[in-house]
Amino acid sequence: MSLDRRHFLAAAGGAVVGLVGESSSGGGARARAPVSRSQAPGFYRFSLGQFQLTVVSDGTIAFPAEALWPEAPKAERDAVLASDFQPTDKSTLQVNVLVVNTGDRLVLIDAGSRGKMQQQPTAGRLLQKLAAAEIKPEEVDTILITHAHPDHLWGVADASDTERTFPNAEYVIGEAELNFWMQPDHPLASHAVWGDIYGQNMKTLAAIKDRIRTVKPDGEVVPGITAIATPGHTPGHTSVQIASGSSQLLCTADVVGNRAVAFQHPDWRGGFDLDLDQGAKTRRAFLDRCASEKVMVSSYHLPFPGVGHVVRAGAAFSWLSSDWTWDGVSPT
Ligand SMILES: [Zn+2]
């Protein structure tokens, strides 16, 4: 049965009349419906060669701008942030955990914080979002810890560090990184700012220590996933190369954070980099590699889902987000 145009308009008109009548007799507009603050599920799938990748959000974390770039002239720092329509007093970072299904192994790149960063109540959502993406913690085979900062490491165990979040997983971490954080007499363990984090790291690493495998610079994490030594943010900080067939992706970890500052001023020394000079040097070198190779990039702290490309902009760089793909295919 076909509906011709005249009948269609009549039917549609009837519906409109019905709605108006209902609204006026009910005495209120539909905009009075309850306002929800819930968002979409917080995961994003795409493909890379034969691999399926899913970015799963742990939420967001925020820090004062002056703590992130303590040496940058305030006026210049404010101008960069304002020109990007960001607040000038603080920087909010997404927490994008990358899940790689190689067909053979299910691999997480970092583990979020599991709500253990008490000053950052907007983070710690990874388990909820993994469930939304239908990824079960017990299915995870390998977790690469790019570095032992709270937003990357603490999610491997519960609040008391007695129960592992991913019961069947092995943990891969840079050899230099593990060695750095497991020295009770290290000066950082009693440092005013870093002391608490150092102590918590030792507890959390102890919870997984019988499942840890260390990786050397440029070592294989699992077939298709290779560690890239990018020291500076921490001594054993690791970025990642993921390759399937001729398709490649570079995963920055914390070489970059803010979408404007890290790219426009890669040489500004970052307040959270443990080695300030090396951190800046590594950032420029890594961004240079991404731009030269024109490779797809995934980034832990850039706007969700943190997938895109790095391009040159004068003597610095710029971040270009990829267009969202709705069917889990390779983004452009
Ligand atoms: Zn981080």
Residue-level pLDDT at 11:
45
242 domain-assigned: yes
| 332 domain residue, yes or no | no
pLDDT value, residue 9: 43
- d(Cα 143, Cα 107) in Å, to the nearest integer? 6
CA of 146 to the centre of ligand 1 (A): 9
Tell me which H or E stretch contains 244.
strand 238-244
Number of domains in the chain: 1
Whether 148 is covered by a domain: the verdict is: yes
- The CATH code of the domain that includes 280 is 3.60.15.10
With 0-12 CB in 10 A as exposed, 13-18 as middle and 19+ as buried, what is 70? Answer: middle
Which residues touch 99 (CB under 8 Å, ≥6 apart)? 53, 54, 55, 56, 106, 107, 108, 109, 130, 133, 135
Distance 123 CA to ligand 1 centre (A): 12
> Which pLDDT score, from 0 to 100, does residue 4 have?
53
CA of 1 to the centre of ligand 1 (A): 60
Residue 328 lies in a domain: no
C-alpha 179 to ligand 1 mean position (Å): 19
Ligand 1 centre distance from Cα of residue 91 (Å): 13
Q: Give 34 Cα–ligand 1 centroid separation in angstroms.
A: 36
Strand partners, 201: none
What's the gap in Å between 301 CA and the centre of ligand 1? 7
Q: How far is the CA of 15 from the centre of ligand 1 (A)?
A: 52
Segment holding 58, helix H or strand E? strand 51-64
pTM for this predicted structure = 0.90
Per-residue model confidence (pLDDT) at position 246 = 96
Residue 329 lies in a domain: no
Write out the chain's pLDDT in tens, 332 residues. Answer: 444 554 544 444 444 444 444 444 456 777 788 888 888 999 999 999 999 999 999 999 999 999 999 999 999 999 999 999 999 999 999 999 999 999 999 999 999 999 999 999 999 999 999 999 999 999 999 999 999 999 999 999 999 999 999 999 999 999 999 999 999 899 999 998 889 999 999 999 999 999 999 999 999 999 999 999 999 999 999 999 999 999 999 999 999 999 999 999 999 999 999 999 999 999 999 999 999 999 999 999 999 999 999 999 999 999 999 999 998 888 87
What tokens were used for 243? 């390759």
Assigned domain for 214 exists: yes
Structural domain boundaries enclosing 46: 5-321
38-53 per-position pLDDT tens digit: 889 999 999 999 999 9
Per-residue model confidence (pLDDT) at position 288: 98
How many residues can be counted in the chain? 332
Domain presence at residue 326: no
Q: Is residue 331 part of a domain?
A: no
